A and B are shown apart, each in its own frame.
Chain A
């Protein structure tokens, strides 16, 4: 059973949601929503998720380590603590052949655990194992996000059974329909009638352009569709997972693109990678008088890391590096314009400047995603 892709998955989910509403009606006074969510997520993981033993062992590792880091090893440097939490994921990415480590969704669970650890100062008082297990293993977002935040997730759990209502079911159902339309109809049509008609290995300009734009459109419908499905299923279970896409093709520059495309990953990288690196660089004496260089190093490293995280193949790394270069270039041009006390595109009528910015960004993003796809014939 492939999550989100087989009819059995949706039938199983209907049973899980029905079970949740039944629990509310029958034992709602003695059982909390948090306990029910954690229980259902564990049940799904143990019975239906591929490689359940690996996932459950990893969850025990993350729970134990997060507790130690939050309550016992408080003086440990944040970087070392984060690396310990990320160690299994890093080993998997480095292709270390240990069967106990690899399972789908390891990255997203790791991101959630690191968020709890790095926000520990604010979260320590509110940390509860049952909430944490539900947060790590929440069924709709287990495989590929959206990457929620513990304090927001816990807020929904604390609101209790009132989160389960007819309105939640309707809102969830509508999101699921939109997600299905994106993923199973629009993405499928782009794949079948566009991408599959062009040879990915062809080096003619027309075929390469068709592959580049086709893949960008396909990936948007596919991933935005998946995200809507996950958010809709979460809503039915009383959890309002954050949005992952917000009209990314209307973006006017590279940093804005990542605030609209895979939003929760972009936000996570900004808060838990870019900012700590920038802070560290700011305390480095040699870079103290070079704020633009500090920003650009932190920006480029963040996007390079994102590329490496997808996999250590050349096309992923090149795609991440390219997004990094886009951001560095935009940041430098913006810095220069501010220094000269002028606007970017000064002298151009606003609608023309906006239209051109969007057009340029569509092409830049499509090319970087083309590299990411592995279809670019000159990069394997």
Chain B
């Protein structure tokens, strides 16, 4: 029971942080990682 409550609490925090963070930091219609040093962009920029 305790484990279940902890799991629900953990995922509530994660969903809330992710939801609020995405709304605050990104345009929800076009999620994009604009930071110049992003690992994905790092690989892409080489080509």
A residues within 8 Å of B by Cβ?
2-7, 10, 50-51, 92, 102-105, 143-144, 174, 177-178, 180-181, 183-189, 191-192, 195, 215, 218-219, 222-223, 226, 311, 373
Q: Does B8 contact A (CB under 8 A)?
A: no
Known: A5-B40, A6-B31. A184 touches B22 (CB 8 A): yes
A-B contact sample (6 more), CB < 8 A, given A222-B33, A222-B35: A2-B44, A5-B38, A185-B21, A189-B25, A192-B35, A226-B39
Q: Does B3 contact A (CB under 8 A)?
A: no
Interface residues as binary, B18-45 with A (CB distance below 8 Å gives 1, 0 otherwise): 1001100110011111010111110110
Q: Are A184 and B41 in contact, with the CB atoms below 8 A?
A: no
Q: Are A187 and B35 in contact, with the CB atoms below 8 A?
A: yes
A187 to B17, CA, bound (A): 13
A180 to B32, CA, bound (A): 11
Q: Which of A3, A102, A191, A219 contacts B40 (CB 8 A)?
A: A3
Minimal beta-carbon separation of A197 from chain B (angstroms): 13
11 residue pairs A–B, Cβ–Cβ below 8 Å: A2-B44, A7-B31, A51-B47, A92-B46, A104-B43, A105-B43, A144-B40, A183-B33, A184-B33, A189-B21, A373-B37
Q: Are A218 and B35 in contact, with the CB atoms below 8 A?
A: yes
Closest 8 CB pairs of A and B: A185-B21, A5-B33, A191-B35, A223-B39, A7-B31, A102-B47, A181-B18, A188-B25
A313 to B42, CA, bound (A): 14
Minimal beta-carbon separation of B40 from chain A (angstroms): 5
Known: A2-B32, A188-B33, A373-B37. A180 touches B44 (CB 8 A): no
Minimal beta-carbon separation of B18 from chain A (angstroms): 5
B residues within 8 Å of A by Cβ?
11, 14-15, 17-18, 21-22, 25-26, 29-33, 35, 37-41, 43-44, 46-47
Known: A102-B47, A103-B47. A177 touches B14 (CB 8 A): yes
A contact residues around B46 at 8 Å (CB): 92, 102, 104, 311
Q: Are A188 and B26 in contact, with the CB atoms below 8 A?
A: yes
A contact residues around B25 at 8 Å (CB): 184-185, 188-189, 192
Minimal beta-carbon separation of A50 from chain B (angstroms): 8
A contact residues around B37 at 8 Å (CB): 191, 215, 218-219, 222, 373
With both beta carbons as reference points, the residue of chain B lying nearest to A311 in the complex is identified as B46
Minimal beta-carbon separation of B11 from chain A (angstroms): 8
A183, A187, A222, A373: which has the most chain B beta carbons within 10 Å? Answer: A222
A373 to B35, CA, bound (A): 13
Q: Which of A102, A178, A184 contacts B14 (CB 8 A)?
A: A178
